């Protein structure tokens, strides 16, 4: 499952602290992979427990598993992180195609997980 897309889709349902964590993930991108829960919590002015709750809300066992899933997502889309942004008026056909591809793949994976 595409972790960044899951975060983007659920963003409006997050608490203010969860939104702060999500914003941080989108801001620092793959730099989060080298940080501990304590380092991230300190940077955000929150607790490690909040990071664990956020991770569990997304369906992961904890912050470590969230980082593993983010690592897989970053590896898969290393060429362009803009696939997770909403469509704008200035999109090229190639960009639209790539964004659609990411979301369709995510939908298929989500449906497959639900049916398993």
What CATH number is associated with residue 72?
1.10.10.10
Compare 77 and 68 and report the one with higher pLDDT: 68
Compare 27 and 103 and report the one with higher pLDDT: 27
User: Is the predicted pLDDT of residue 107 greater than 80, yes or no?
Assistant: no
Compare 89 and 1 and report the one with higher pLDDT: 89
Compare 2 and 51 and report the one with higher pLDDT: 51
Reported in sequence order, the residue ranges of the chain that DSSP labels E, i.e. its strands, are none
Kindly report the pTM of this predicted structure.
0.69
Compare 88 and 53 and report the one with higher pLDDT: 53
How many structural domains compose the chain?
Answer: 1
**Cα(100)–Cα(39) distance, integer angstroms:** 35
Confidence at residue 9, expressed as pLDDT on a 0 to 100 scale: 87
**What's the average model confidence in pLDDT over 47-68?**
95
The chain-wide mean pLDDT, for the chain, equals: 84
Query: In which domain, by residue range, is 110 found?
Result: 3-115
Grade residue 109 by pLDDT with cuts at 50, 70 and 90: confident
The dihedral through the CA atoms of 44, 47, 53, 59 has a sign that is positive
């Amino acid at each position: 499952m595409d972790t960044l897309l899951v975060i983007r889709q659920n963003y409006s349902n997050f608490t203010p602290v969860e939104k702060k964590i999500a914003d941080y993930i989108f801001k620092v991108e793959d730099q989060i992979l080298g940080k501990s829960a304590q380092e991230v919590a300190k940077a955000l002015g929150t607790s490690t427990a909040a990071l664990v709750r956020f991770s569990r809300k997304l369906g992961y066992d904890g912050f470590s598993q969230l980082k593993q899933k983010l690592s897989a997502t970053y590896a898969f889309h290393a060429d362009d992180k803009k696939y997770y942004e909403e469509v704008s008026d200035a999109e090229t056909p190639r960009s639209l195609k790539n964004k659609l591809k990411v979301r369709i793949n995510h939908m298929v994976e989500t449906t497959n997980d639900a049916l398993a």
